[in-house]
Amino acid sequence: MTSSSAHSRKALSKIACNRLQKELVEWQVNPPAGFKHKVTDNLQRWIIEVNGAPGTIYANETYQLQVDFPEHYPMEAPQVIFIPPAPLHPHIYSNGHICLDILYDSWSPAMTVSSICISILSMLSSATVKQRPTDNDRYVKNCRNGRSPKETRWWFHDDKVVHGRTVNVITSLHVDDEVIECTANSCC
């Protein structure tokens, strides 16, 4: 899935270009374990290969992330989705949308693509069951036509500890002014 309609493609600001070039150089020198940047000539969209960590239920599995950078990155979070087929995970919808607060409300300009990748791998590694969020079909139906996950009004209120730090995960979300409730054992 590539969501060109979901993300208006304005040219990157000078600050965004400089930051992304710096991150790309750092990635080439010190890539996060389990990830590979698929080189393209488009600085505004990165395709990243994700390898499931050894000893986890995703070991020996490979997925792809699509990272679309907005005009005002890093002041604004990038849009990060799995390119289907997305991993079966209680926080990942079949359309590739990811329930992880750092991609939305908890974004900080200090975060990098590498830190996003590490958080996503940690989320995958902590899973004990392969399943979709219980509201997957409903959510995906409401997100048809390439709707960006950044257009969803996520409501984060369930804290989990991931990789030594507290991370909020979604337990309810709003789509088209409708609240979609998730149980602790479903999407979160």
Tell me which residues are annotated as active site. Answer: 99
C-alpha angle 37/4/61, rounded to 5°?
40
Between CA 134 and CA 139 the distance in angstroms is 10
Between CA 135 and CA 137 the distance in angstroms is 6
Between CA 118 and CA 122 the distance in angstroms is 6
Between CA 7 and CA 28 the distance in angstroms is 27
H or E stretch at 142: helix 136-142
